[in-house]
């Protein structure tokens, strides 16, 4: 059962944790690495172990909270975008607890400047996934543990370390799950992470949490159409510039299309309005501009009909 963040914040994980393992005096500092991408966890665990840290890992926010209460890490290296409980919520929970002081390095692929400000607001270091990731990480480790770990020189592993890549994430918004599943199955096969929403209101919450690189939304939906969602997205600084592609199985009038494409409060409208049809190639060509996959790699031969909706 999905557990809401509010419910988790009320959970006293101290009631269920096992006894804390004793720390040997002078032993290696403990590091907890948290990311839902197992390949990123393996890379980080390998390289940070070589730098002299005692490594524990977790694959999601809930597991991170349990593991942190079990091992009491000295440093937390955590991704922002994770299902169920995001990285910043995990940080806030742990930093507000009565545990020993905890150093935090937050990882994210987002370019949003507000993200860095939020991290710095609770004293966390910031490492952006991309070409400069290892420089950022090693600089943060050198600052947080200058004497505890093996000597860490910034840029010391920049050339040797494999790249940490941020998998682009697409948010699909449609109250027809068949449409969501069809699009998602093609994108996931090309290395794209996919999030789902069945309504405009749910999409707003997910967009604020996940910061997708692009949003694909149906126009006709109950409890808020595509124009409503676009207007609400542009009203928030965090989502004001996320590209939005609008789908429709019904013919939209020229006035509606113009309104969708028009600027909203100085921010861009829909980047494209695409008709639902039996041939979805135009949609995937539009998505390729923002996700960078190869359209030819997407097998559209075995496709269901996406009817009017």
Name, of 127-131, 141-145, 222-226, 290-294, the range with top average pLDDT.
222-226
How many percent of the chain have pLDDT more than 70? 75
pLDDT surpasses 50 at 205: yes
Strand order in the sheet with 75-79: 54-58, 30-34, 75-79, 103-108, 125-128
Question: In angstroms, rounded to a whole number, what is the distance separating the alpha carbons of residues 236 and 216?
Answer: 18
Which residue segments constitute the domains of the chain, with CATH numbers given? 5-144 (3.40.50.2300), 169-297 (3.40.50.2300)
Asked whether the beta carbons of 224 and 197 are under 8 A apart, the reply is no
**SS3 label, residue 77:** strand
pLDDT in tens, 22-39: 344 357 889 999 988 877
Report yes or no on whether pTM surpasses 0.85: no
pLDDT surpasses 60 at 165: no
pLDDT in tens, 231-287: 999 988 888 888 999 998 888 889 999 999 999 988 889 999 988 875 677 788 888
Question: 38-42, 129-133, 158-162, 222-226 — which is least confidently predicted?
Answer: 158-162
DSSP string for 82-97 = -SSS-HHHHHHHHHHS
How many percent of the chain have pLDDT more than 90? 17
End-to-end CA distance of the chain: 30
**pLDDT at residue 215, as a whole number:** 94
Residue reference for tokens 């290892």: 134
**pLDDT at residue 171, as a whole number:** 92
pLDDT surpasses 90 at 83: no
Cα→Cα distances 239→10, 168, 207, 284, 286, Å:
29, 15, 7, 22, 19
**pLDDT at residue 227, as a whole number:** 93
Instruction: Please state, rounded to an integer, the average pLDDT across all residues of the chain.
Output: 76
For residue 58 the two structure tokens come to: 């977790």
Burial class (CB in 10 A: 0-12, 13-18, 19+), 290: middle
């Amino acid at each position: 059962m999905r557990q809401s963040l509010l419910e988790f914040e009320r959970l006293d994980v101290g009631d269920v944790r096992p006894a804390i393992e004793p720390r040997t005096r002078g032993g290696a500092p403990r590091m907890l690495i948290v990311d839902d991408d197992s390949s990123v966890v393996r890379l980080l665990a390998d390289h940070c172990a070589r730098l002299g840290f005692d490594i524990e890992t977790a694959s999601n926010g809930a597991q991170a909270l349990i593991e942190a209460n079990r091992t009491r890490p000295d440093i937390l290296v955590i991704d922002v975008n994770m299902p169920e409980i995001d990285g910043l919520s995990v940080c806030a929970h742990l930093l507000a607890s009565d545990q020993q002081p905890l150093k935090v390095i937050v990882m994210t692929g987002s370019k949003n400047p507000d993200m860095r400000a939020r991290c710095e607001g609770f004293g966390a270091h910031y490492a952006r996934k991309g070409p400069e990731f290892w420089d950022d990480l090693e600089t943060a480790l050198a600052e947080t543990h200058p004497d505890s770990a093996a000597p860490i020189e910034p840029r010391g592993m920049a050339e040797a370390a494999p790249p940490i890549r941020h998998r682009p994430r697409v948010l699909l918004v449609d109250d027809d799950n068949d449409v969501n599943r069809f699009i998602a199955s093609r994108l996931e096969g090309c290395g794209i992470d996919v999030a789902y929403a069945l309504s405009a209101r749910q999409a707003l919450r997910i967009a604020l949490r996940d910061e997708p690189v692009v949003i694909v939304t149906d126009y006709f939906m109950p409890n808020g159409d595509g124009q409503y969602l676009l207007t609400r997205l542009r009203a928030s600084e965090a989502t004001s510039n996320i590209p939005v592609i609008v789908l429709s199985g019904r013919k939209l009038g020229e006035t509606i299309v113009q309104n969708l494409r028009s600027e909203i409060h100085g921010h861009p409208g829909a980047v494209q309005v695409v008709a639902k049809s039996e041939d979805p190639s135009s949609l995937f060509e539009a998505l390729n501009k923002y996700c960078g996959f190869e359209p030819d790699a997407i097998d559209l031969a075995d496709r269901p009909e996406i009817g009017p909706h």
